[in-house]
Chains A and B, each alone.
Chain A
């Protein structure tokens, strides 16, 4: 039942192979496509950081997800159009709170054991146990208040939530199911894997590389070009990854920056996915200069978001952002809300501030009531392109008489400020948020220490729309409310989208399909090196 996706991937691979075959003059004829696949061999892709723990039920980090995608399967997968497709479940039925999955009777684990509904149940049982503090809670499932039942005879697994959650199925695509011995003790998976994916973990060298071998007998694994081994290698620097790609030492890597040009020139293929968004958020806390709506609006008006988007995405997605959660495949298209963003107009920005009582001082900085319009413009040093974008923004703010002090924050410091202490004025933030709901805690709800609304945002329209969206039973109704929520944010200039966040996969001498920036394990094919 994975077949549709697999076939699609294989088909695309064939198409690509054919294209390259055409450019290959010494190869001709119909057999060329197969002839261009390498037989066996190792496919290596680079990631920037170590995935961390190898327990699939306790690691939802991006890189970990990429690795798990090769070793495990989720119940359902997402297709490129945003729809839900079959994973371990061949059939599913979801009414907003209760989901019934029919488990693929042919699915087997890497240790040869069968995958029955009770195996799936072990996974959910582990996740539900509070002492395991599974990260699946929060990231995939809204809370621990769910029940489940496995019926091995019928081959069904039933999950019941305590309230409506419209995003359940797409969310479950991020939950990789352990099987065999691993399902009994997922925390024991420190150097091995125990899953139903097309590959099995052979060696794990933290901070260096993870080597996986092909699982014989996995459907589609006998196709031409499927590598014997897949290696995930940790390469901190993008330039280095690019060098490795050029030298042929690796086959795929995420390269967003300047090195793309020489890679494509060398015959590598690239594909850009939107995996999140870059936003600027304003602190509403009393006493902060940005608590003043006029200031927030004026600063927004001062920004030409297009160039900032170009800089912060290093030229990959140069269009101004329209959504705070733009990850592909998008669950809701809320781009219509973007019309509510105060548009770029320096004169209007100045007028807004003049109307609010700000006057220009001798040094060109606006003042009101003896207070200068100066503020911190922060960003995380972990976000590439942010430093340059901050410089550009400070320059733009300067043009309307607002003085921004650029403040780079180390990631930990940044996290603490954004989520906890709220010690910032204007913050450039980058999220890899597949769902709009990710940001709720920041923009609504209790202030720290009881919550994470560190910026003290109190936008009732937004909060109400979000609540309506979360409990909506249909995707359509949910999306309408999400759009309304976004609109409310933009009108108040609480958080303004700057850009979509790209993940740009560059692949050389191989084929690898990705979804939302995540590699599709079954799509990997090695080509004969040119």
Chain B
């Protein structure tokens, strides 16, 4: 089956005279590709929202009773249920939930009775900072490190470096981020007071949290980049680039890097999701008032509206990140623009 379709794909190969003017077909394939990706994003976000909506239904106990406290008389509970529309059929509640979520009304915290949006507003900055810094750090470290090591160890060169790299990244990837975070605090903030130990006071208070997330994820991604480097370096067009006697930098950076990034992003892009959730654990260790600390607190105290909102936000971030990666892949690899259709 695949063989035949592959053959079909090669069809324009038959001869120069039968080449189709591909440029003539101005239906921009990548526009359709992007639309398709956006559709997928919308469906994914719909799924996440639906699941979080259902979460409340799955959970035993009455959220209103939790919210109003034990002293509230039954009549008040009933009244509040009506206010919140909880007495409505599930489907009505579902659409109502959608309406609220889309207008940014995430409901009130069961614990503080304050709008969840206030909590999010106060905390999203710190989380966004950590996530953004970690994403950048992970990408830069992983791509540069993986590329350099990949070149240096290509085809069995420098076996010691290769072994050391495998071992070091293996260990770094296997170390859970919470251990790394604690270790970093102990080392850099308590033993040598170089960085602040906690809080989100200044720019330097984000150094250790970023480091804690980056270490593991960069190690994992660096391995992916190294092996993609090895694959890319084995490609015929790199041999051709060398056969053209281009300088090494041009061979690697101009011919290697874009293709390498495609390969690395395809595989390593998934890793970026864990960077986003890494913030949950790390914020807790560094006591940074962010969405991660709020999520864990809310989980323990069963503050479901908060759990719901933060999960949707983090999941949405990951999904949008993936869309961006997809788009970047499309930009890097001209082939994908056509193949997507």
Contacts and interface: CB of A to CB of B under 8 A. Distances in A.
Nearest to A52: B112
17 contacts: A207-B294, A235-B198, A236-B284, A236-B289, A236-B297, A241-B287, A244-B197, A246-B190, A247-B193, A247-B196, A382-B301, A411-B301, A412-B301, A412-B303, A416-B70, A449-B73, A452-B71
A412 B70 CA distance: 10
Contact of A381 (B110, B193, B289, B300): B300
B66 interface: yes
B248 interface: no
Interface in B56-113: 61, 65-66, 69-71, 73-74, 110-112
A219 interface: no
B189 A247 contact: yes
A459 interface: no
Interface stretch (B45-53, B117-125, B270-278): B117-125
A190 B199 CA distance: 23
B325 interface: no
A415 B289 contact: no
A480 B166 CA distance: 75
Interface in A236-291: 236-237, 240-241, 243-244, 246-249
**Across chains A and B, which 10 residue pairs bring their CB atoms closest together, nearest first?**
A420-B70, A243-B197, A419-B70, A240-B287, A240-B198, A207-B289, A237-B287, A236-B287, A206-B122, A247-B193
Contacts of A50: 112
A418 B70 CA distance: 9
B286 interface: yes
A452 B118 CA distance: 32
A249 B74 CA distance: 48
B123 A249 contact: no
A448 B73 CA distance: 9
B300 A249 contact: no
B287 A235 contact: yes
B70 A448 contact: yes
A454 interface: yes
Contacts of B112: 50, 52
Chain A interface category by residue count:
35 or more
Contacts of B297: 236
A416 B122 contact: no
B122 A243 contact: no
A233 B70 contact: no
Given A236-B293, A413-B302, 14 more contacts: A206-B122, A208-B122, A236-B284, A236-B287, A237-B287, A244-B199, A246-B193, A247-B190, A247-B193, A381-B300, A412-B66, A416-B65, A449-B73, A454-B70
B301 A249 contact: no
Interface residues of B, number: 37
A75 B189 CA distance: 44
Contacts of A234: 289
Contacts of A421: 70
Nearest to A411: B301
A207 B287 CA distance: 11
B137 interface: no
Contacts of B74: 449
Contacts of B70: 415-416, 418-421, 448, 452, 454
A234 B197 CA distance: 14
B41 interface: no
A410 interface: yes
A205 interface: yes
B71 A420 contact: yes
A410 B297 CA distance: 10
A240 B74 CA distance: 42
Given A235-B198, A243-B197, A412 B302 contact: yes
Contact of B300 (A241, A410, A448): A410
A484 to B, nearest CB: 28
A366 to B, nearest CB: 31
Nearest to A421: B70
A249 B201 contact: yes
Contact of B119 (A207, A233, A413): A207
Interface in A186-224: 205-208
Nearest to B299: A410
Contacts of A249: 196-197, 199, 201
A440 to B, nearest CB: 14
A35 to B, nearest CB: 26
Which residue, A207, A418, A452, has most C-beta atoms of chain B within 10 A? A207
B110 A412 contact: yes
Which of A234, A235, A236, A382 counts the most chain B CB atoms within 10 A? A236
A184 B226 CA distance: 68
Contact of A243 (B65, B69, B185, B301): B185
Most chain B CB inside 10 Å of its own CB: which residue of A243, A244, A248? A243
A385 B61 CA distance: 27
Interface string B292-320: 01100100111100000000000000000
Interface in A436-464: 448-449, 452, 454
A453 B227 CA distance: 67
Interface string B196-208: 1111110000000
Given A234-B289, A412-B111, A243 B73 contact: no
Contacts of A248: 193
Contacts of B118: 206
Interface in A146-172: none
Contacts of B196: 244, 247, 249
A208 B205 CA distance: 14
A236 B300 CA distance: 14
Interface string B111-144: 1101000110011000000000000000000000
Contacts of B111: 411-412
Contacts of A382: 301
A247 B66 contact: no
A240 B286 contact: yes
Interface string B229-268: 0000000000000000000000000000000000000000
Contacts of A246: 190, 193, 197
Contacts of A420: 65, 69-71
Interface string A379-418: 0011000000000000000000000000000111101101
Contacts of A452: 70-71
B59 to A, nearest CB: 11
Contacts of A410: 300-302
A248 B201 CA distance: 13
